[in-house]
Structure 1
Amino acid sequence: MKKRILIAALTAAMASSIFGVTVNAAERELNINWLSSRSASESAILAIQDIAKQYQEENPDLDFNFEIENISDRTAYLQKLKILAASDELPEWFDSDPDTWFADIVADGKAYSFEDLYKELGMYDQIFPISKEYARLSDGSLNLMTLQCNTEYFFYNKDLFEQAGITETPKTFDELLADCKLLQDQEIIPIAMGGDWPILRYFAQVPFRLTGNEYIENAVSGEGSFGEEAGLKGAQFIQDIAQYFQEGWSSADYDTMIDLFASGQAAIMYNGTWALDQADMIGEDENIKDNIGYFTMPTYSDADVTTATDFFANSGIGTAIRTDAVDDEMKAWMKYLLEHYADASLSYNQLPSVMPDEETMQSLPKVYQQIIEDVSNVKEYAKCWDVVIDSALVEPLEKETVILALGQETPEEWAANMDEYVKNQK
């Protein structure tokens, strides 16, 4: 009995040093409730759950509670998140885009700086540049951790292109429209469309070529107008290309878009590299299948201010850590997470936000090495319209853009409606 009491006393007195701060081993505790907008089956979620389990096994003296609430419905998620924020009950972790709502959260001091945290943990240079730049607010601050490294491509079916007599991938938007016409003449669906965000990507490409991100940043802030020349040219383009989407596209969901392309019914699908597995584009050798190719965002005109190597590269929605939840135990966990995340993410066929080591990088399938090279060559990343606009305006933006694409309003009417939405949100 005396021996057991002595051991217990020694255990209680034992201390461990974490980041120079002494923590009593008997009092180690870390509680993380993560409110996530990701689905429970998403690769990032699965990878982090694996790491959390491993961390608990390696730290048996830590009372570690890691719980995730997944709400993949965007509207429902944002509703709950904003209610919690308004009542000052934000969880330790929560997902957000770097939008104007999150900028207010940062201004109130409620989200810890990942600029600081990455540097404190010695991990800043191990994070892919896109995974930092994509999550920055317009003032340059970085308060979100992203978990992916993605590019977005026009994936195409080589067999259907050959059937339509198309021998080269389009380099300009005019060439893209001409190729769609050739496909349609062969009774091939030129473009698979579905879901909320893809339509916005098509629209955003012309303004990005003409102004970089200036057009959308000024429009969503109210400092400019959606009716500026670049926006009206983008609006005309969306009306021109929408005639090549499949019949009934406006009510189709994301899975329908994937299925149309994967089944060979549609020749082109614009999507991110996260869809390689979803659309059955990866073969047994873990490289892209022989009958699938891809091309990047076309150019628009000689007036373009962005280059052909600049396009949409992103890292998905970000995760914030509530400022007062960041203590030495949280930092110890974050360092462990970041050091193990690359391998865990790759085990689920997802390119991570953390760079793999050189040996792992060289062993990756060629398609993933190419993605990393493409990301590295991007000098200006196109910003996603549904990310930079206030979250309350995402639904109106999507609705108005579908109406525009269907030809039910003019570009000028679309722009005026969007300007009014922004004005009323202020």
Structure 2
Amino acid sequence: MFGLATTMSLSMVLSACGSGNNNNNSSASATTPASAAATDSASASAKPAGDGSDIKGTVTFLTNRTDMIGKEYDEYVKRFNEKYPNIKVEFEGSQTDYNQQMKVRMASGELPDLMFIPTIPNSDLPKYFAPLDDMGMNDQITFKDFKSFDGKLYGITSGNSTSGIVYNKKAFAAAGITEVPKTWDEFLAACDKLKQKGIIPLASNFKDKWPLNNWVYDVPRLIENNPDFPNTKLNTDTPFTADNGYGKAFSLLRELNEKGYLEKDINSTNWEQSKKDIASGKFAMYFLGNWVINQVIGAGAASEDIGFFPLPIDNSGKLKAALSPDYFYAINKDSKNLEATKAFLKWMLTDSGFEDFAGFISPLKDKESSLAQLKEFQATGVEMQEGTPDNAQVMDIQNKAQIDIPAIIQEYVLAKDPQSVFDKWNTAWAKAKKQVLGQ
């Protein structure tokens, strides 16, 4: 499994000359002296000091962004080495399921210096990762408590997302839509205008399941006006009901399908093609995170033709959106290059510009986005709701019951009797809850 990760060296020690996209230049670079590595290891809690020229080491980063290797990452390292010329950075691109690959490597003790945290209990964080409190960023970062344990910080989000409607402005204009909808009824009316014009209103990518995540993780908590709503399942044997956040959110997607506002055959959708179809205006909208904006632009749309607004979930006219973290950076507690790795991580957060490239909201509280679409989104006066960490017991019960909420909404949308879907999974939940909690 480790052989599936491709290691590529993207910088030279003592220089920033990793020009071009040649990833086979690592043999030409000087190696870090053993004494320097030992010194780096000894300074586990030291902050990057001075101008950076005194910090030496090699940083290996296992990333899920394989598309950036040999491209944007090259440019990042050039700029990073202007400040830290004696730090070499290597990237490994995960070619398999990142979460599973990380768990295998954690079990084997073969971790890179820098990585993203897989789905593990926060109580396990100290087993694998180094505390990051000495980086001086605790007061600057969002979601500080998400990957903390026993008062110590172990993970920092790489970027934040909000979910909303990414739309093609030319498609809206062609359908005669002059203002973005602010209520659910207005949203349905806009969808109807698009359909009448021969434009598919919303690309759901229903078959792929993961594009439904915002419908099941964001919308229910917004409907309930409770960021901790997913954790309230612990207090009931019937978490899925027609009149709570899950039932109301699932019904919205079911209504869009019944009215013919999704793809004609929602069981044969294609993710990569959908980006091109949004870019061309064949499809009008996505309901996804802001991270997809740059991907649509990359698929051929002009930036000025792509907009972003909050999904209206009711007819109140009050717009809400969920703010959620993406993958969390973490540093291997056994890294021989802790000081160098912390220097690179801090640079990635403060100076790389990765959040703008990825279409994220910055993980730093006071850093404004340069993305025009996010400015448009925020100009609507939307209320942002920051999420809460998953309750460990809720996750244990959910896993025991084999509950996959995006799969449940797939069943619900297509079922002749939606209530029967809820009944089935409520039964599974109640049984697993009794087994896990012993009551």
With normalisation by structure 2, the TM-score equals 0.68
Aligned: 1:381 with 2:386: yes
Tell me, in whole angstroms, the C-alpha distance in 2 between the residues paired with 1:338 and 1:265: 41
Tell me, in whole angstroms, the C-alpha distance in 2 between the residues paired with 1:318 and 1:193: 27
Percent identity over paired residues: 20
Structure-1 residue corresponding to 2:122: 103
Structure-2 residue corresponding to 1:3: none
Tell me, in whole angstroms, the C-alpha distance in 2 between the residues paired with 1:375 and 1:167: 15
- Structure 1 or 2: larger helix share? 1
1:313 Cα deviation after fit: 2.9
* Structural mapping, 1:14-413, within 5 Å: 30=57, 32-36=59-63, 38-42=64-68, 50-52=75-77, 64=88, 66-71=90-95, 73=96, 76-96=97-117, 99=119, 101-106=120-125, 109-114=127-132, 116=133, 120-127=134-141, 129=142, 132=144, 135-136=146-147, 142-194=153-205, 195-203=208-216, 204-219=218-233, 225-228=238-241, 229-230=243-244, 231-243=246-258, 244-280=261-297, 288-289=303-304, 291-300=305-314, 308=318, 310-325=320-335, 329-339=337-347, 341-345=349-353, 348=357, 350-351=359-360, 353=362, 364=370, 366-367=372-373, 378-382=383-387, 396-407=404-415, 410-413=418-421
Equivalent pair of 2:122/2:148 in contact (CA under 8 Å) = yes
1:55 Cα deviation after fit: 5.6
Cα separation, partners in 2 of 1:201 and 1:112, compared to 1, 3 Å = same
Cα separation, partners in 2 of 1:415 and 1:257, compared to 1, 3 Å = farther
Tell me, in whole angstroms, the C-alpha distance in 1 between the residues paired with 2:139 and 2:278: 37
Out of 45-54 and 261-270, give the one that drifted further. Answer: 45-54
Equivalent pair of 2:195/2:201 in contact (CA under 8 Å) = yes
Tell me, in whole angstroms, the C-alpha distance in 2 between the residues paired with 1:247 and 1:151: 27
Cα separation, partners in 2 of 1:247 and 1:222, compared to 1, 3 Å = farther
Tell me, in whole angstroms, the C-alpha distance in 1 between the residues paired with 2:174 and 2:403: 38
Cα separation, partners in 2 of 1:214 and 1:47, compared to 1, 3 Å = same
Tell me, in whole angstroms, the C-alpha distance in 2 between the residues paired with 1:383 and 1:356: 17
User: Residue type of the partner of 1:398?
Assistant: P
Gaps of 5+ in 1: 1-10, 22-27
Tell me, in whole angstroms, the C-alpha distance in 2 between the residues paired with 1:68 and 1:292: 33
Cα separation, partners in 2 of 1:102 and 1:67, compared to 1, 3 Å = farther
SS of the aligned residue for 2:386 comes to coil
Cα separation, partners in 2 of 1:246 and 1:218, compared to 1, 3 Å = same
RMSD of Structure 2 on Structure 1 (CA): 4.7
Equivalent pair of 2:59/2:341 in contact (CA under 8 Å) = no
SS of the aligned residue for 1:339 comes to helix
| Greater relative contact order, per chain length (Cα 8 Å cut-off, separation 6+) | 1
Equivalent pair of 2:61/2:114 in contact (CA under 8 Å) = yes
Cα separation, partners in 2 of 1:69 and 1:164, compared to 1, 3 Å = closer
1:412 Cα deviation after fit: 4.6
User: Residue type of the partner of 1:381?
Assistant: E
Structure-2 residue corresponding to 1:6: none
Aligned length in residues: 380
Tell me, in whole angstroms, the C-alpha distance in 2 between the residues paired with 1:237 and 1:122: 44
User: Residue type of the partner of 2:66?
Assistant: A
Gaps of 5+ in 2: 1-34, 48-54
Cα separation, partners in 2 of 1:162 and 1:176, compared to 1, 3 Å = same
Equivalent pair of 2:172/2:284 in contact (CA under 8 Å) = yes
Tell me, in whole angstroms, the C-alpha distance in 2 between the residues paired with 1:138 and 1:337: 20
1:246 Cα deviation after fit: 0.8
SS of the aligned residue for 1:319 comes to strand
